[in-house]
Amino acid sequence: MGYKIAIAGATGNVGREMLDILDERGFPADEVVALASRRSQGTEVSFGDKTLKVQAMENYDFSDTDICLMSAGGTVSKEWSPRIAAKGCVVIDNSSAWRYDSDVPLIVPEVNADAIKGFSKKNIIANPNCSTAQLVVALKPLHDHAKIKRIVVSTYQSVSGGGKEAMEELFNQTRAVFVNDPIEPAKFTKRIAFNVIPHIDDFMEDGYTKEEWKVLAETKKMLDPAIKVTCTAVRVPVFIGHSESVNIEFENEISAEEARNILREAPGCLVIDKHEDGGYITPYESAGEDATYISRIREDATVENGLNIWIVSDNLRKGAALNTVQIAEALINRGLIKPKSEAA
């Protein structure tokens, strides 16, 4: 017997991707339910060769549902996740609402799958921020080998990280440039078409943005609290795929060649690193793919034991939907939950 799975936020960028990934991976679900706000009630979303009618989450009874994959934003998750969890349905949440709660495991299966067993304290598991997910997939094997002391991360994040309205804004502004229409920023604070914006999420007192702080806090929680992390997060006019330039300082010696060989064997990683024109990955090529790609692996001669690397991944997949589905698979494969229908 299979599981009953609800997708909360099924009409969104991440929710639609979750439906595709559940289907692609042959997830052991007997039933998949699509939920969104009341605005979308009755609309349809695709699930493999089927279409699902969207139901309003506020009217849905989670009592016989095993897992809720939640991607409806932080405010909705703060209110709804505890209520859903109280019905015995495990919530795997994509927002930042629960990531820093010490009773909620924050999981990237390639990095800290064992921590998943802590889910039973609140029946909630958190999925990291899109920039952190791909970062820790690439850093974990290098940390295991040579112990990372400090990282400097600069992100080049696509607009899909800001949801479907952000994608529409890039599209409409790009069109407006060509037809000479006026450009009015709405979702972004400045024009995004043919521009880059060094600002994602709210500003904090110290001048960093919340997005930059998330990379720091989540890397420490999942990988090692001793690692020093500093970050600059930048939005770029790319639809899908986040890129990161990462400078890493290690405790122990590691050459670029060793790093390349380690990453070639590491779960979830794919190395594309030829020292020639086009011998690297760009975000456009990562869209629709599962891997975390690593290119431009170089020794940094300005520090002892330093490397520079370029990391790219599809933010809607490894950065969100794929990682969420992998967490659900890990719960099942480790025997941590059984379908409620079995007990009935």
Q: Interface residues with ligand NAP (CB under 6 A)?
A: 8-15, 36-37, 39-40, 57, 71-74, 76, 94-95, 130, 160-161, 163-164, 315-316, 319-320
**What is the spatial distance between Cα 151 and Cα 231, in angstroms, rounded to a whole number?**
8
189 annotated as a binding-site residue: no
> Rounded CA gap, 99 and 106, in Å?
6
Which of 130, 143, 145, 231 is the catalytic position?
130
CB burial readout 125-150, b (16+ within 10 A) else e: bbbbbbbbbbbbbbbbbbbebbebbb
Q: How far is the CB of 282 from ligand NAP (least distance, A)?
A: 17
Strand, coil or helix: 215? helix
Give Cα 105 distance to the centre of its chain. Answer: 15
Q: 39 or 275, CB closer to ligand NAP? A: 39
The reply to whether 269 belongs to the active site is no
Q: How far is the CB of 47 from ligand NAP (least distance, A)?
A: 14
Least distance in angstroms from the C-beta of 274 to ligand NAP: 28
- Residue 245 β-bridge partners: 154, 310
Is 157 annotated as a binding-site member?
yes
CB 214, CB 135: distance < 8 Å: no
CB of 133 to ligand NAP, least distance (A): 8
Closer CB to ligand NAP, residue 58 or residue 257? 58
235 is in an annotated binding site: yes
Report the sign of the C-alpha dihedral through residues 227, 233, 238, 240, in that order: positive
CB distance 273 to 211 below 8 Å: no
Question: Least Å distance between CB 53 and ligand NAP?
Answer: 13
DSSP-derived 3-state class of residue 54: coil
Please tell me whether 14 is known to bind a ligand. Answer: yes
219 is in an annotated binding site: no
For residue 261, give the H/E element and its range: helix 256-265
**269 CB-contact burial (10 Å; exposed 0-12 / middle 13-18 / buried 19+):** buried
Structure tokens, 184: 């009015």
CB 85 within 8 A of CB 122: yes
CB 130 within 8 A of CB 161: yes
> Among all chains, which residue has been given the structure tokens 């991360």?
153
Torsions phi, psi for 256 (to 5 deg): -60, -40
Closer residue to ligand NAP in complex, CB, 196/226: 196
Task: Find out whether 39 is annotated in a ligand binding site.
Answer: yes
**Annotated binding residue at 12?**
yes
C-beta of 269 vs 320, nearer to ligand NAP: 320
Residue nearest to ligand NAP (CB): 12
Nearer to ligand NAP among residue 94 and residue 173 (C-beta): 94
Least spacing, CB of residue 74 vs ligand NAP, in Å: 6
Q: Is 242 labeled as catalytic in the residue annotation?
A: yes
Helix (H, G, I), strand (E, B) or coil at 316: coil
Which one, 4 or 99, has the nearer CB to ligand NAP? 99
- Residue of 89, 143, 145, 242 with catalytic role: 242
Which segments are annotated as binding site for substrate? 157, 235
Which segments are annotated as binding site? 11-14, 39-40, 99, 157, 160-161, 182, 235, 315
Which segments are annotated as binding site for NADP(+)? 11-14, 39-40, 160-161, 182, 315
Residues annotated catalytic, as ranges? 130, 242
